[in-house]
Amino acid sequence: MKLFSHTLVLVLLFSLFALPAAILLLVGLAPGWRFPDLWPAQFSFTGIQFLITHQDQIVSSLVSSFLYSVATVLVTLGMCLTPAAAFARNRFAGKRLMEALVLTPALVPPMTFAMGLHVVFIRLSLADTVAGVVLILALFTYPYMFRALVTGFQTLGEEYRVCARNLGAGPVTIFWRVELPLLVPAMIAGGSVVFLVAFSEYFLVFLMGGGTVPSFTGFLMPLLASSNRSLAAILTLIFLLLPILLFFVIDGSLMRSYRKKGMV
Amino acid sequence: MSLIGSRTAILILKLSPLILPFVVLFCGGVFLTVCQSLGIFTPLPHTGGILAAYNIILSDPSFFASFGFSLGVALTSAAGSVAAGTFLAYRVWQLPKALAGAALMYKIPLILPHIAVAFVVLIFWSQSGILSSLAYHLGLIQSMPDFPNVLYSGWGLGMILAYTLKGTPFAMLLILALLVRFDVRQIQTAAMLGASKRCIFFSIVLPRLAPAMHTSFIILFLYSFGAFDIPYILSESRPGMLSLHVFDLYFKHDLARRPEAMAILTLMFCFAVLFIIAYSKTVTHLENGVRKL
């Protein structure tokens, strides 16, 4: 009985969250799949062919999205590292209020500050540049990095730092050799969310990139509404696979480096 | 005294990488939005009074229709996501270790961008979609038009479905993070004392999950209230989400109407901030009334 209800939960999870991905694969391979067929009448590779003929455009938009998302992760990391340490370790007046305030950019509609900034970005020639896109994405996503790092510093505690200082290490050495390696999991947790949000954001990239900064979402958007569902499905699957691949690579290399240092 | 002064200075220095962009870019961005809504710093010289744009917006009944519509879509999808997410997270948490790995598939929609989730909803729920075909084969409908017009019902059901599909795993993620640290002995004790499953869930588990439920509700509600990606694909013509309205005014009309777009954005921002404050106040008030263990 218990096993039955557990299986039921898995079936529910599957049909809600995994089935759509499986269906996307079918849609991608069967452009002619129509009502009322429950299973595609025939499969074809026209979607894949389009993929191959337009590979330059697709690859360049993928690479562009990937690069500005990674840059966003690095910028948010730079923005949050020392403030997160200060928040985790110090008590000061107005700390709770300040913490609530710095988290608001992730909560209020991004349009409300991005559209106001647009005019300034145009004046500063930041609009339509990768730098402008990264800046606006970082402004929208840094709260995720900040939360993750504050939690990271809190779990770290003071002991490692005190111990290293007693052994004669200076603040820079403590940070580089002791704290940073221990913070990697927190950085990856925050960085994954920042990466995903940046990678899948359409509007902010459209606004600040103005079409000159290629993005995968910008490439995908017109196709989603078009009649060529097969191609849209294939591109959506690429969207799914790339981050998964990235996380596997990061996870694997992290485990390897931990093993090398004897931390696992 | 100087010791305290230098400590404060160091603290400010350490906080500055965050505070500076927050003040300059975020606060500056909001400030500029407000300014432009009042006709200051607009690309075209502003005609009319300082509140002209607000007068136009607030005397237009379609603004209130849009506002109510956005509110309804956001409330329904956020409440649905949190309810489904809580239930599923609890059941996933109860899964035996051998099956827990398979449950990780709940993370798939977290990776998919909003526009892709909207596309999935389109494939499943349109009248020529998968569910319609399924209904045909089950003999529930005879032809395509018999299938309910879910996506263009006028109720924003397509958007609600998409936001719920995207939001449920998010709520699950936050709630599972709390459940991992949950002490099973509390449940075992309650079960030994004869508590029913329902009683255990509602009186013991749910109160512990409340913080994560509140957080995910606020985040999901405000996101779907003001986001653009999903409405752009699944929108119905009227009344339409506020974000689409702003997009149209900003990009598709002449520059003279820019202050109107900015006035809507200002009102949306004020609503979001008021909502955060009111919600957290209510939650603290409620939690103070509950007996703590």
Question: For the segment A169-194, what is each residue's pLDDT rounded down to a tens digit?
Answer: 888 888 888 888 889 989 998 999 99
Q: Residue B17: enclosing H or E segment and its boundaries? A: helix B2-21
- Asked if A186 contacts A152 with a C-beta cutoff of 8 angstroms, the reply is yes
How many C-beta neighbours within 10 Å does residue B152 have? 15
Of A98, A108, A203, the CB nearest to B269: A108
Tell me whether residues B15 and A221 touch, CB distance under 8 A: no
* Chain B residues closer than 8 Å to A107 by CB: 218-219, 222, 272, 276
Q: What DSSP string describes chain A?
A: -HHHHHHHHHHHHIIIIIHHHHHHHHHHH-TT--TT-SS-S----HHHHHHHHTHHHHHHHHHHHHHHHHHHHHHHHHHHHHHHHHHHH---TTHHHHHHHHHGGGTS-HHHHHHHHHHHHHHTT-TTSHHHHHHHHHHHHHHHHHHHHHHHHHHH-SHHHHHHHHTT--HHHIIIIIIHHHHHHHHHHHHHHHHHHHHH--HHHHHHHTTTS--HHHHHHHHHHSS-HHHHHHHHHHHHHHHHHHHHHHHHHHHHHHHHHT--
Mutation test of the interface with chain A: which of B111, B132, B280, choosing the one with the most A Cβ atoms within 10 A? B111
CB of A237 within 8 Å of a chain B CB? The answer is no
Of B115, B127, B227, the CB nearest to A109: B227
How does pLDDT run across B48-63, given as a tens digit for each residue? 778 888 988 899 888 9
pLDDT range class, residue B289, cuts 50, 70, 90: low
Nearest CA in chain B to A234: B116
Distances B142 to A32, B129, B244 between C-alpha atoms, Å: 21, 14, 36
CA distance B195 to B52: 62
Tell me whether residues A117 and B32 touch, CB distance under 8 A: yes
pLDDT of B292 > 60? The answer is no
Q: How much is the average pLDDT of B123-138?
A: 85
Nearest CA in chain A to B142: A36
Tell me whether residues A229 and B266 touch, CB distance under 8 A: no
Tell me whether residues A9 and B95 touch, CB distance under 8 A: yes
Nearest CA in chain A to B167: A17
Of B41, B43, B128, the CB nearest to A35: B128
Instruction: Tell whether ipTM is more than 0.85.
Output: yes
pLDDT of B290 > 70? The answer is no
CB of A80 within 8 Å of a chain B CB? The answer is yes
Of A13, A38, A87, the CB nearest to B105: A13
Q: Give the lowest-confidence range in A95-99, A217-221, A228-232, B72-76.
A: A228-232
pLDDT of A206 > 90? The answer is yes
Tell me whether residues B130 and A37 touch, CB distance under 8 A: no
CB of A36 within 8 Å of a chain B CB? The answer is yes
pLDDT score at A242: 86
pLDDT score at B3: 60
Mutation test of the interface with chain B: which of A62, A112, A203, choosing the one with the most B Cβ atoms within 10 A? A112
Shortest Cα distance from B81 to chain A (angstroms)? Answer: 12
What angle do helix axes A229-261 and A55-89 make, rounded to 10 degrees? 50
Partner B, chain A 155-214, Cβ-Cβ below 8 Å: 196, 199-203
CA distance B211 to A242: 33
pLDDT score at B81: 97
How does pLDDT run across A3-51, given as a tens digit for each residue? 788 888 898 888 888 888 888 888 888 777 777 777 777 777 777 888 8
Nearest CA in chain B to A239: B112
Interface contacts A/B by beta carbons within 8 Å: 233
Using DSSP, state whether B38 is helix, strand or coil: coil
pLDDT score at B197: 86
